[in-house]
Amino acid sequence: MLQKVLSEKISHWQDEIHTVLEQAGEKKISDVSVNQAYGGMRGIKGLICETSAVSADKGLIIRGYPLLEITQLLPEEVFYLLLTGDLPDQAAKEDIQNQLNAHNNVPEYVWNVLSSLPDDSHPMTMLTIAIQSMQVDSEFVKKYDKGVPKKDYWKWTLDDGIRLIGALPGIAAGIYRMRFNKGERIEPGNNLDWAGNYAHMLGFEGDDFKKLMRLYLMLHCDHEGGNVSAFSSLTVSSALSSPFLSVAAGLNGLAGPLHGLANQECLKFVLEVHDYFNGAPDKQELEKFCWDRLQNGRVIPGYGHAVLRCPDPRFTAFLSFGKKHIINDNIFSIVEKLYEVAPNVLKEHGKAKNPWPNVDAASGSLLYFYGLKEFNYYTVLFSISRTMGIISQMVINRAMGIPIMRPKSITTEWVKKNT
């Protein structure tokens, strides 16, 4: 059903792009300054991403829907939205759930690979190795080797994507139980949604934790095309590497402390505050703590963003979840107080272009509250969710025939001679 819906849309999207290129192909959409060339290409409009857009003052907008208007959706419904641009009806939702469930068993070789790694491997290392090992089952690779036409690449990319997204909760939950000695792996439950099943396989049965997982896995799904994880995945995918290798490449970027690993750093910081004050400090004490940290040349984790210039709506959604479900918890209370204190400190400090909280500022405290305390695992949750956005972008790029990525680099010598 999903493939049929997409086939119809894709031929329409191809026509649309064809017309845009015919009418505006030579129009300029960006100038590039020397600052930008040395500055991580910030702000250069040089990529197309159809699944979502990030506006500096509103945050994430998925296919035209501002994030805070669709937080009630299940992650798999968001996946359908990312791919097709439509909210799924009941039949479409069941179809995608059935497809994901059909792939929720993890191949045995994945466990063999994982159990051969050192016991203290980082969970993100385990995750990306597990994903890469699944390359052996790539339908895309098999079809490519048989010589299927280029116009059909997206179909096998989607096929692999669904295979991967279906298996990811089981892989990630297995990593959690293996890495943190939680006992035997737990089999997927019948009649559970994708995120509910993940909570179940992790070993957390409470309804509120399942609700948190549904929210967590929908909020982290996508953040347009230029962030480190999406951009890295799409670059690798543009060389027609399999979806397994391409997703693993992007998630290796998500494992960096300035990107997805920030959520572990952020909770570490909140716990540091808690230990230092032996509880939740008052606002003045917290303000001084932030200043001391900045004066030691360290960042305030969970604050700042390369694109956003407002509180991240993903943070807002987590904060309201916490306010609704968490009462009298010192850790969450530090997160709330930081929101009152850190933006003013960062504004006065004057360096960060965005003094507001990002997605990572609250999520860890919620996981911690429900007993998921192994914070070096947190980026794995982010990864499961972000894979939906990466796969959606990859399918669309392949359907639109986006060629291999190859921006031009220049040398400092060139800059000196030509500016």
**Segment 238-267, which members bind ligand HAX (CB under 6 A)?**
258-260, 262
Angstrom distances, CA of residue 131 to CA of 85, 110, 173, 245, 395: 27, 8, 14, 7, 18
Asked whether position 372 contacts ligand HAX by CB under 6 A, the answer is: no
- By 3-state DSSP, what share of the chain in percent is helix, strand and coil, each rounded to 5? 65, 5, 35
Q: What is the DSSP letter of 148?
A: -
Instruction: Please state, in angstroms and rounded to a whole number, the distance separating the CA atoms of residues 53 and 61.
Output: 5
Residue pair 230/82 in contact (Cβ under 8 Å)? The answer is: no
State in angstroms the smallest separation of the CB of 37 from ligand HAX. Answer: 15
Task: Reply yes or no on whether 305 is catalytic.
Answer: yes
Whole-number minimum distance, CB 120 to ligand HAX, in Å?
24
Catalytic site residue from 160, 200, 305, 312? 305
Q: Which position's Cβ is nearest ligand HAX?
A: 304
Task: Pick between residue 169 and residue 302 the one whose CB is nearest to ligand HAX.
Answer: 302
Q: Which of 52, 55, 76 is nearest to 64 (CA)?
A: 52
| Of 193, 222, 259, 312, catalytic | 259
Q: Using CB under 6 A, which of the segments 111-119, 179-187, 303-311, 389-397 binds ligand HAX?
A: 303-311
359 binds ligand HAX (CB under 6 A): yes
At a CB cut-off of 8 Å and minimum separation 6, what does 258 contact?
none
Check if 274 is active-site. no
User: Minimal distance in Å, beta carbon 40 to ligand HAX?
Assistant: 7
Tokens of 81: 């939205």
For residue 137, the 8-state DSSP code is G
State which of residues 304, 313, 364, 389 lies at the interface with ligand HAX (CB under 6 A): 304
Residue with Cβ nearer ligand HAX (160 or 360): 360
Does residue 214 touch ligand HAX according to CB under 6 A? no
Helix axes 207-219, 194-202, angle to 10 degrees: 120
Contacts of 136 (CB under 8 A, 6+ apart): 109
User: Taking the complex as a whole, how short is the minimal distance between the CB of residue 301 and ligand HAX, in angstroms?
Assistant: 5
Options 17-25, 164-172, 298-306, 401-409: segment touching ligand HAX (CB under 6 A): 298-306
- Known catalytic residues are 259, 305, 360
